[in-house]
Amino acid sequence: MKKSIQTALFSLIMFFLPLMAVSAETASEKFTEISAPEVKNMAESGRAVVVHVLSGTEYEMQHIPGSINIPITHLETTDALPRDKSTPLVFYCMGKR
């Protein structure tokens, strides 16, 4: 996919998605709302891991470039999350669930 199309898709997805960032260390205690531009900056700079929590099929159809897919049903058992518990995680889906 061309860079401009990826950028446009990323911008469109980021505009419509409710986003929450959470530190893995305090996941059950604290969630922080952040803006789409903040997420984009964090993802592009490698300061956060962006996690798509819907199915693999939904991920293949539409996802934020650079994000990883871990369906919500696999979050407790996955080994795909960073070992460093201070790494910010941004979880997103295609709407409120």
Residue-wise pLDDT for 6-52, tens only, equals: 554 555 444 444 444 444 444 556 677 888 888 888 888 988 999 99
- The Cα–Cα gap between 81 and 7 comes to 25
pLDDT band at 96 (very low <50, low <70, confident <90, very high): low
Q: Which pair of structure tokens corresponds to residue 61?
A: 């159809």
Whether 67 and 19 have beta carbons less than 8 Å apart is answered as no
Class of domain 3-92: alpha beta
The structure's pTM equals 0.63
E-only strand ranges, 5-85: 20-23, 32-33, 49-52, 68-69
The amino acid occupying position 18 is: P
Q: Do 72 and 53 form a contact (C-beta atoms < 8 A)?
A: yes
Q: What is the mean pLDDT of residues 73-87?
A: 89
